Each structure stands twice: as structure tokens, then as C-alpha cells.
Structure 1
Amino acid sequence: MATRTDASTRREQILKEAARLFAERGFHGVGVDEIGAAVGISGPGLYRHFAGKDAMLAELLVGISGQLLTGARRRLAEADGVAPGTVLDSLIEGHIDFALDDRPLITLHDRELDRLRDSDRKLVRQLQRQYVELWVGVVREVYPELAEPTARSAVHSVFGLLNSTPHLGRPGALPGRAVTAVLLHRMARGAFGAAGAV
């Protein structure tokens, strides 16, 4: 008899492979049977875990937006009494982890967000706005001379920079995760510094 943990792990495997396949070939270019084959179960067996491809896509995109927001809130809570610059560094590190480890989800978001039901798409946007505003607050603590609209523009620009990882080539083509992470962090801090110097 499968345990709840086994079912949860299976769902995670399905979502990971679905994200990879959707990112590689597009949502409509992938069948349920192919996703099932990638995780070693029959296509119809997927319906024990998900109602269909639309449900997988929604869970992927709503899920990652929620995870980013939850992770950022956790980092802020853990940084109580810490210098704002250190908090900003922590937020950048968290987003870099996402950008390097979940590259298919970035591609998926860019290509397939409009395929979500209105309610799911609105939820993704709501979670993303909260995530942006959390960053804006921290950025303005580090660079108090920045007006709120400028800080918000800087945050969006840094997200664009960090979320460019799908365009850096295959993971093996990168100079190494640690080196890439340091480079992205330095560039993100440089972008915020440049915005603060304007």
C-alpha cells in the first residue's frame, strides 16, 4: 500500500518531468503518455495524481510562485535584526537558487502562463506582486534614496537578469554552478547599486 509520502514523491517526480518536457517541446507538444513514460508509469496512471496536463501546468506555475514568496518571507523572518544589505544578499541567493535549479520553470512561465485558467493566472500574478513588493521594501532599506517606482523597476530588472539562466546554454555548458551563482549575485548587486547611484 502506497503511503502519503510515496504519493507526494511520485507527484514531485511527475511535476519535474512535466516541467522539463513542457519547457523542451511546449505544452501542446507533450502527451500524458510521454510524461508517464518519463516517470515509469502508464499515461492513464497519471490521472491518480492529476486531473490532466492543465492541472500539472497550474500546479507548476502557481506552486513556484508560492514557493518563491514563502522562501523570501522565511529569509526575512530569519534575518530579524540583520543589516538590510545582508537581507538583500539572502533574497538574491534564494532567487539565484531558483534560477539555476528550476530553469525549465522559467521557460514554462514565459511560454505557457497564458494557458492557465483565469483564476490560476490571477493567483500567479498576485503571488508575484507580493514577492516583488517584499523585495522593494528591502531594496529601499539598502538604498533609501530610491523612490518606490524606481526601486520596483530595479527589482523587475534584476529578476530579468537572474531569470535569464535558460539562455545561458545547457547546464553542462555553464562555468560551474558556484561560479555562475557568484557572477549572478555580483551582477544583481551591481544593478541595484547602479539604480541607487542615479
Structure 2
Amino acid sequence: MTDIVAEDAAAAAARPTQRSQAKADRRAALLRAAATLFAERGFNGVSIEDLGAAAGVSGPAVYRHFPSKQAVLAALLVGVSRHLLDGGTEVAAAATDSSTALRVLIAFHVDFALTEPDTIRAQDRDLDALTPEERREVRRLQRRYIDLWIRVLGTLHPSLTSVEQRMRVQATFGLINSTPHTARVGGASVDAAAVRPVLERMAWAGINAH
């Protein structure tokens, strides 16, 4: 009985409080707003007041979550790099074979590109606005993500040189990550449901090209 009570107490302690959940939600809202504003205007064209207004708080309230605008950008770009590595590792590990692993990695990355287009645009534009230490962390996480893909590709195509494996993976990223810049026809946004299967087929064909 004592063990059950202790387990219940531990579970209750692990659950986020209403206040901590609200703080986490506000932080997430600020990062979403930052991705949109940085994508549209660039890091230097956005103020703390702009970030706060977009997330529904005052400018000074942003400092409750981030010490500076620089820290917002770092959290956004380092965070998304970590998300890709962790998420890609998880879906690949759950696959039953290498072919399936590559397909789910492609689907995972396509989903990222379609749901986080502003983050991709912000990184393309503002990566150099990070401090050298922050850029190194982004690059480190990205290299590990690329290496994950290379390991999977290498088991499918062991005859490829390591140079060509890396080239194929990076070219696939280039194809998929171009979505935020190209998924518009005649000025109108293309439906993600229509884009997704096309991107997945093109990525699969390209990375496995003979």
C-alpha cells in the first residue's frame, strides 16, 4: 500500500502544474511567432516588442522566457535541429528493415518541411546571426542527423562511396527543404496533402537513383 501511495505521489509530482504548463505554452507560442516573423522580416527586422505582440504578450514579458532576442533565435534553430535528430532516430529505430527506415525518414522530413516552413526560411536567412557557439551546436546536430540517413542509405546501397552517400542525402534535403520556397502556384499555396506524396516519391526516386 505504501508503494502505491509513493507511486501516486511521484506521478502527481511529475505532472506539470497549471502554471508551468501555461509558461511552456507561452514559450512555444513565442517560438512559433519568432519563426514567422524571422522568416518574413529577418532577425534584424524584428524587435522584442514585435515578438511579444505576435504571441499576445507585452515586449518586456518576453524576457520571462528568453533573456534576449538572440536567445529566441538560438532556441528556435538549435531546438529544431535537435527535434530532427531525435525524431529521425526514433522513427528509423522503429522500422523493421532498412528500406522501411529510409521511407519513414523521408516521410518524417517531408512532414517537418510542410509543417515548419517558416523555421526553414528563418534558418536559411539568419543562421549567421547566431553566436559561433550556437552555430557549432546547430551544425553538430545537423551532422548527426545526416549521418543517421547515411547509415540507413549505406545498408541499402553498400556499393556507393561515402562521398556519394552524403551527396545523395544532402541533395534529398535540398529537394524537400525547398518546399517553403516553391509550394506556391500562381500566388496560391498548394495543399499540403497534395504536395506530400509528390515530395515523398521524388525524394525516394532521387536518393535511390541508379
Q: TM-score range by the shorter chain?
A: over 0.9
* Aligned mate of 1:125, from 109, 132, 139: 139
User: 1:2 Cα shift?
Assistant: 5.8
Partner of residue 37, structure 2:
21
In structure 1, give the amino acid aligned to 2:181.
Answer: H
Q: 1:102-141 counterparts in 2 under 5 A?
A: 102-141=116-155
Partner of residue 88, structure 1:
102
In structure 1, give the amino acid aligned to 2:197.
Answer: V
User: 1:166 Cα shift?
Assistant: 1.5
In structure 1, give the amino acid aligned to 2:118.
Answer: P
C-alpha RMSD of matched pairs (Å): 1.6
Contact kept, 8 Å, 2:184 with 2:190, in 1: the verdict is no
Higher alpha-carbon deviation: 8-17 or 29-38: 29-38
1:77 aligned onto 2:97: no
Contact kept, 8 Å, 2:84 with 2:145, in 1: the verdict is yes
After superposition, give the CA deviation of every residue in 1:104-162 in whole Å (9 maximum; x if it has no partner).
11111111111111111000000000000000010111222211110100000000000
In structure 2, distance between residues paired with 1:90 and 1:149: 23
* Aligned mate of 2:24, from 1, 5, 8: 8
Partner of residue 199, structure 2:
184
In structure 2, give the amino acid aligned to 1:54.
Answer: Q
After superposition, give the CA deviation of every residue in 1:76-127 in whole Å (9 maximum; x if it has no partner).
2212xx1211110000011001101000111111111111111110000000
User: 1:6 Cα shift?
Assistant: 0.8
Partner of residue 14, structure 2:
none
In structure 2, distance between residues paired with 1:94 and 1:169: 18
Q: TM-score under structure 1 normalisation?
A: 0.93
User: 1:174 Cα shift?
Assistant: 3.9
Contact kept, 8 Å, 1:174 with 1:180, in 2: the verdict is no
Contact kept, 8 Å, 1:58 with 1:116, in 2: the verdict is yes
Question: Gaps (5+ residues) in structure 2?
Answer: 1-16
* Aligned mate of 2:75, from 39, 53, 59: 59
Q: Between Structure 1 and Structure 2, how many residues are aligned? A: 193
Give the match's secondary structure for 2:171: helix
Partner of residue 30, structure 1:
46
Larger Rg: 2
In structure 1, distance between residues paired with 2:88 and 2:24: 24
In structure 1, give the amino acid aligned to 2:110.
Answer: I
Q: 1:128 to 1:193 in 2, by over 3 A?
A: same
Identity rate of aligned residues, in percent? 44
Q: TM-score under structure 2 normalisation?
A: 0.88
In structure 1, distance between residues paired with 2:106 and 2:18: 39
Partner of residue 155, structure 1:
169
Contact kept, 8 Å, 2:93 with 2:101, in 1: the verdict is no
Contact kept, 8 Å, 2:77 with 2:123, in 1: the verdict is yes
Stretches (4+) displaced over 3 A: 169-172
User: 1:169 Cα shift?
Assistant: 4.5
In structure 2, give the amino acid aligned to 1:17.
Answer: A
